[in-house]
Amino acid sequence: MSFTLAIVGRPNVGKSTLFNRLVGRKLALVDDQPGVTRDLREGDAKLFDMRFTVIDTAGLEEVTDDSLQGRMRRLTERAVEMADACLFVIDGRVGVTPTDEVFADILRKKNARVFLAVNKAEGKAGDSGALEAYSLGLGEPIRISAEHGEGMDDLYRELKPLEGEFAEREAENAPLVDLDLSEEEAELDADETAHYPTAKKPLQIAVIGRPNAGKSTLINKILGYDRLLTGPEAGITRDAISVRADWQGTPIRIFDTAGMRKKARITEKLEKLSVSDGIRAVRFAEVVVVLLDVEIPFEVQDLRIADFAETEGRAVVVAVNKWDLEDEKQGKLAELKEMFDRLLPQLRGAPLVTVSAKTGRGLDRLHDAIRKAHDVWNRRIPTARLNTWLGAMTEAHPPPAPGGHRIKLRYMTQAKTRPPGFVIMCSRPDELADSYKRYLVNGLREHFDMPGTPIRLFFRSQSTKNPFKDQKFHTPSRLRKHMDGKAGISPKR
């Protein structure tokens, strides 16, 4: 990526629509009501042959106190200071407002490179707004339509000089790296570290839970700075925001998701979009951290969230937040473990970690639990060990015999990882009881040390018929004469 571009402007001028247009996907939530975007969302933008990083920001408002709007404004101003350039977007249908003039002065002081874009300027309806934009003193405005993709070539011409400038700067500051590895060594190293996180393929973590459980605060503490918007209000986070970082030597990409309430309580369209965005983040993740509130743990919604993560086949780590507020820690921990084993048997053995997002205590244990869960999620077991284990399990408890016919488990192998999936060849797989399947899954967890990770068992029937029974073979004439002579039959003359 050559440079970073921050898209700023008043609420509801089309910043998120433009962001989605540049990244080529509908990543940011878009709705008619103003103030949908609250956090900073980064994406890899592509504009013709140009590649850069684009940041979608919250709408700038004339609020400077500690309210939610004030915290959103400070977060946007920080993004303006960090970005290499800013694209100030105004609404061409509305024209220049007094608020636009105030923010234009702020942008001039905080960032040297500010480009002016007039959105919704398609047709004659945007002519007056484009002419008024000259009064802001930010140069010639770029007329665009983020919804219909108009004006992208003009935006490309304005941003193109930045690409060359920052590419030269990166080349000058790039470290010299000398690698002397043979192809065989490189392939061997790739095989051994196939599932280990790297800078190019970081460990993907999603933090999910009910509203106000402390998800954004926890991620900020992991990152070491206030990257995400936090506060006492429930439901602040709306978008599923992903942030890259290096956490105790582990390259990670961590997703902050919106709080998930009971489905019956979700009535607004925007909240439905937020929950859908969080579900999509879970499907992209490798490890899911289910964050609970120590004061009200394992509510019905918590159980549904944890079960959803297991159903999606993700490695699960359960974290109990606000542990610094608990006085009777030993008794509470024993109670939590008992509730966990009783209410979530499908996640038996999954890590249960107590943390404090406010003070940072327990984050080292959370890191270790996530790494272990990820390793187990990627584990592969040799076929020989699996079949030895299967023989011992069936000998200890033979499969049931429905209708007096014993079900035979003949062969077992691991078909996949992420999560671990196993195939067992057997007779009459449809008649095998679910209780015996659970017996095998629990045995796999215990014997091969795979606590918490989802395990998939697939049972397939294996035919015992002779495959050559109905086939006819052609015997060569020379061999047929030899066989006839052995049998004492004189060949025909």
Q: How confident is the model at residue 146 (pLDDT cuts 50, 70, 90)?
A: very high
Asked whether residue 189 is marked as a ligand-binding residue, the answer is no
The pLDDT of residue 174 is 43
Please say if the pLDDT value at position 22 is more than 70. yes
Q: Where in the chain is the domain with CATH 3.30.300.20?
A: 383-464
Per-residue pLDDT of 269-317, as tens digits, reads 656 666 777 888 888 899 999 999 999 888 888 888 888 898 999 999 9
Name which residue leads in pLDDT, 237 or 352.
352
What average pLDDT does the segment 90-103 reach? 89
CATH code linked to domain 203-228+238-264+271-378: 3.40.50.300
- Average pLDDT value over all residues in the chain: 83
Number of C-beta neighbours around residue 172 at 10 A: 7
- Higher confidence at residue 65 or residue 289? 289
Q: pLDDT at position 156, please?
A: 94
User: Of 28-37, 126-135, 173-182, 299-308, where does mean pLDDT reach its minimum?
Assistant: 173-182
The annotation status of 257 as a binding-site residue, yes or no, is yes
State the pLDDT at residue 170: 53
pLDDT at 463 (0 to 100) = 59
Does the annotation list 387 as a binding residue? no
pLDDT of 448 higher than 90? yes
Whether the predicted pLDDT of 472 surpasses 70: no
214 marked among binding-site residues: yes
Percent of the chain with pLDDT over 70: 83
The whole-number pLDDT of residue 333 equals: 92
Strands 50-56, 41-47: pairing kind: antiparallel
**Is 260 within any annotated ligand binding site?**
yes
Determine whether the annotation assigns residue 259 to a binding site.
yes
Q: pLDDT at position 109, please?
A: 80
| 0.85 surpassed by pTM | no
3-state secondary structure of 136: helix
What was the pLDDT predicted at 19? 94
276: which residues sit within 8 A by CB, 6+ positions away?
none
Residues 209-237: what's their mean pLDDT? 86
User: Residue 189: what pLDDT?
Assistant: 39
Cβ neighbours of 139 (radius 10 Å): 12
Cα(406)–Cα(393) distance, integer angstroms = 15
DSSP character at residue 125:
G
Q: pLDDT class for 396, splitting at 50, 70, 90?
A: very high
Q: What is the pLDDT of residue 144?
A: 93
Ranges 17-21, 193-197, 250-254: which has the least confidence: 193-197
What residues contact residue 203 under an 8 Å CB cut-off, 6+ apart?
Answer: 197, 250, 251, 252, 253, 286, 287, 370, 371, 374
pLDDT of residue 261: 65
- Mean pLDDT confidence for 240-252: 91
Which of 317, 315, 442 is CA-nearest to residue 379?
Answer: 315
Query: Where is mean pLDDT largest: 97-106, 115-124, 415-424, 480-489?
Result: 415-424
Q: Say whether 57 counts as a known binding-site residue.
A: yes
State the pLDDT at residue 318.
94
Tell me: is residue 202 an annotated ligand-binding position. no
Residue 58 labelled as part of a binding site? yes
What does the pLDDT average to over 2-13?
A: 90
Share of the chain above pLDDT 90, in %: 44
Tell whether residue 36 is among the known ligand binding residues. no
The answer to the question of whether 60 is labelled as a binding residue is yes
pLDDT at 467 over 70: no
Q: How far is CA 445 from the centre of its chain?
A: 25
Thinking of the domain 383-464, which architecture would CATH place it in?
A: 2-Layer Sandwich (3.30)
**Homologous superfamily of the 3-173 domain (CATH):** P-loop containing nucleotide triphosphate hydrolases (3.40.50.300)
Confidence band of 222 (pLDDT split at 50, 70, 90): very high
Rounded distance between C-alpha atoms, residue 198 and residue 204, angstroms: 11
Give the H or E element holding residue 321.
strand 315-321
Residue 488: pLDDT band (50, 70, 90) is low
What residue ranges of the chain are covered by domains with CATH 3.40.50.300?
A: 3-173, 203-228+238-264+271-378
Residue 399 annotated as lining a ligand binding site: no
CA–CA distance, 122 with 114 (Å, rounded to integer): 22
Determine the pLDDT at residue 183. 38
User: Could you write out the DSSP letters of every residue in 237-305?
Assistant: --S-EEEEEEETTEEEEEEE------GGG--SHHHHHHHHHHHHHHHH-SEEEEEEETTS-S-HHHHHH
**Is residue 95 within 8 Å of 130, Cβ to Cβ?**
no
What pLDDT, on the 0 to 100 scale, is given for residue 264?
A: 54
Q: Report d(CA 144, CA 126) in Å as an integer.
A: 10
What does the alpha-carbon distance between residue 366 and residue 28 come to, in Å, rounded to a whole number? 29
Flag whether 31 is marked binding. no
Q: Rounded CA gap, 61 and 433, in Å?
A: 62
210 appears as a binding residue in the annotation? yes
For residue 27, list its beta bridge partners: none
The answer to the question of whether 213 is labelled as a binding residue is: yes
Question: Helices 300-311 and 269-284 sit at what angle, rounded to 10 degrees?
Answer: 40
Annotated binding residue 329? no
Report the distance separating Cα 271 and Cα 281, nearest Å. Answer: 15
Handedness of CA 437, 442, 444, 447 (dihedral sign): negative
**466 annotated as ligand-binding:** no
- Please give the pLDDT value at position 270: 58
